[in-house]
Amino acid sequence: MITGTVLNWHSDNPQRFLVFRSLAALASLCKVRLPGMTGTISVSFVVLLVVIAELSLPEGVLIAIVATAVQSVWKTRRRPEPVQVFFSMASLVLSTALAFLGSRLVMASALADSLPVLLGLSTVLLYFSNTILISAAVCMTEGKPLSSIWQRCYFWSFPYYLVGAVAAGLMIATNRSAEWQASLLVLPIMALVYVSYRLHVYRAAQGPTAS
């Protein structure tokens, strides 16, 4: 998929693609380290939701690759192995493709054309596919149950995906009603999602406080 997409890549609006690619890379810098794991989570998924709704699949795949590469190598405690970077990249590419194709297939079957429905489907597919794939990799390396790893590391993050979906919806609505550059005004909401991530992870790392 990755090779074929790169070889057949095209963009109807190269300037818009470059802006969203840069935005995804920037969002990947806003990452939070998960408690008890070497992996991180970032708010780049907000940009990916916009890309899934507004751009083509080849554009989405390349933006997912860039976002993963930046998140994997930027300010890491130890240099990741190439296989780790490739797996993370493949996981997000597959999840992006599943969200793109799955949401459109469901909407085509239901003869629906609704932005909230498209975003809702994309968010659920992107969230579950990516988090389960990563959890499965941890499960194989650590020998722990998949359900406990997923619940400990990712279950809590679903509300943040929903907030991110709202931010993505605002970006898309602004894009469709005005010039697409105006959709970048929603960036403060992405910053709020990131700050909320950090606060939650910090409190989880501290554990329950004694009363």
Please tell me the distance from the alpha carbon of residue 203 to that of residue 78, in angstroms, as a whole number. 24
Give the model's pLDDT for residue 85. 86
* Residues 122-168 pLDDT 10s: 999 999 999 898 888 878 877 778 888 788 777 777 888 888 888 88
Q: How does the average pLDDT of the chain come out, rounded?
A: 80
Highest mean pLDDT among 80-94, 104-118, 180-194: 80-94
Q: What is the pLDDT of residues 12-29, one digit of tens each?
A: 788 888 888 988 898 888
Q: How many CB atoms lie within 10 A of CB 108?
A: 10
96 or 10: whose pLDDT is higher?
96
| pLDDT at 31 > cutoff 70 | yes
Among the ranges given (7-11, 86-90, 106-110), the one the predictor scored with the smallest mean pLDDT: 7-11
Counting other chains too, the contacts that 123-127 makes at CB distance below 8 Å and 24 or more residues apart are: 123/49, 123/99, 123/161, 123/162, 123/164, 123/165, 125/95, 125/98, 125/99, 126/45, 126/48, 126/49, 126/52, 126/95, 126/96, 126/98, 126/99, 126/161, 127/45, 127/157, 127/158, 127/161
